[in-house]
Amino acid sequence: MERIHRFAREKLKIHSDKMKQRLDTTSTEIVFKPGDAVWLYAPKRTKGKSPKLQSNWANFKGPYTIIKKINDLVYRIQLSPRSKPKVIHLERFVKYTGHDPPRWFVVEDPPPDDSVIRDE
């Protein structure tokens, strides 16, 4: 029984490694920076209507503005200066390609190196 279990674990490991390799070759790294505009995918089910028959574009809200990158996959976004920020996974939004992105969020430039206050 242990030999069969070990054999099954080895086959599962080989298969999962192949799946990861296939995913890594087809995926692209998408990086957003603070100030970028994005559409948020927020699906809403309409009662009495099949999801297949509903428009996918009706599920996109925005444009939102990227406020902060929390880690490689999670970002903080905000719709307007007065709205509550949301923490959203990267897969739920797509880059905004409209003509007039929101301009209310201003990314502050870091101070120059010589302006650092030092204790003496």
Domain ranges of the chain: 30-95
Q: What is the dihedral of CA 90, 40, 96, 64, to 10 degrees?
A: -100
Q: For 80-108, how does the pLDDT look when each residue is reduced to its tens digit (9 = 90+)?
A: 999 999 999 998 988 998 887 777 776 66
The CATH topology of domain 30-95 is SH3 type barrels. (2.30.30)
**Rounded-to-integer distance, Cα 44 and Cα 67, Å:** 25
Burial of residue 88, with CB atoms counted within 10 A of its CB: 0-12 exposed, 13-18 middle, 19 or more buried: buried
Q: Look at the pTM and tell me if it is higher than 0.75.
A: no
Q: For 34-69, how does the pLDDT look when each residue is reduced to its tens digit (9 = 90+)?
A: 999 999 998 877 788 887 887 777 788 889 999 999
